[in-house]
Amino acid sequence: MSEIETVELNGTLVGAVVELIDFYSKKGVFKINEYKDIASITEKLTVMKDAYDNNKEVELLSLNELAFIVQIFKEGSLRVPTHVESFGQIYTVYQHFTKILEQEVENEKKKKESK
């Protein structure tokens, strides 16, 4: 039986999401009531990127934060007149975050089953 590859974050991936959020923000993708959450996740990602870049301990994203980031990709690609699949690099980052979210959901299931 082959082992499933574990996907992890790094400073480049986190920075790419910060840049994407900035791009979407400049395009007016987000609704007024979404900006509080957008600002919060951007701040967390910025702190993470700094930690990765300076080889410091990184506070990982929660399951909800990962799901929110994946949702940013989905909503942004719908609200800007292009599909995320059209942007090779963006789609690669999207796939990476989606895989990490799937891993975390699976880890949570295993924790609940072991109790």
What are the tens digits of pLDDT across the range 1-32?
Answer: 445 677 789 999 999 999 999 989 998 999 99
Q: Is residue 4 part of a domain?
A: no
Q: Is residue 115 part of a domain?
A: no
- HSE (CB half, 13 Å, CA atoms) of 83? 2
Q: Is residue 80 part of a domain?
A: yes
> What's the predicted TM-score (pTM) here?
0.82
Ranges of H-type helices in the chain: 11-26, 35-53, 63-79, 88-114
Name the residue range of residue 103's domain: 11-109
